[in-house]
Amino acid sequence: MMRLGKYLLLDRVNQGGMADIFLAKSFGYEGADRVLAVKCIRSDIASDAGFVSMFVDEAKLTVQLDHVNIARTYDLGRIRDTYFIAMEHVLGRDLRATLDRANTQGQRLDYGIVLSIVDQVLEALDYAHRKADLTGVPLRIVHRDVSPHNVLISYAGEVKLIDFGIAKATTQVSPSSTGA
């Protein structure tokens, strides 16, 4: 366990090439605590200004999104050399793990379930693309990384799209690379 400002990082739940995801807890007044996910830029990448800009862009973009099929972003911060995003923790599995488990057991997902997952992901993408800023200017967000590991399925059956790290919007500062 490690303290990161107002968050207690309980356990690393995922390790990526550029960031680590931790199960964390924030402490609220009178025990109004919250379990969430905290995404931290890896220390060996934190000095890369371009990556930090993309990370900040992701948080500034996703904090504006309030949709049942998109994991919420609550906070963006920096403590010393650690940049982080605090997000909704979805208790469940990603679609990649769900598909792998079904394959291992020699099963297929029910077509009705598959269609429901696809429908909810499309609802999230449609909302993000149609989202406007506070002045009514369309953001035209394009996710650009819809893949099974970025689709979370909660144990209650909720579908949540995550990781807008390479998403693009009309308001972003960091440019796209050709072919990226």
What residues act catalytically? 145
Gap between the Cα atoms of 133 and 114, Å rounded: 32
Q: Which residues of 22-54 are buried (b: 16+ CB within 10 A; e: fewer)?
A: bbbbbeeeeeeeeebbbbbbeeeebeeeebbeb
Residue 7 burial (10 A CB sphere; 0-12, 13-18, 19+): buried
Tokens of 155: 């144990």
SS3 of residue 63 by DSSP: coil
27 and 33 Cβ atoms separated by less than 8 Å: yes
Intra-chain end-to-end CA distance of the chain, in Å: 36
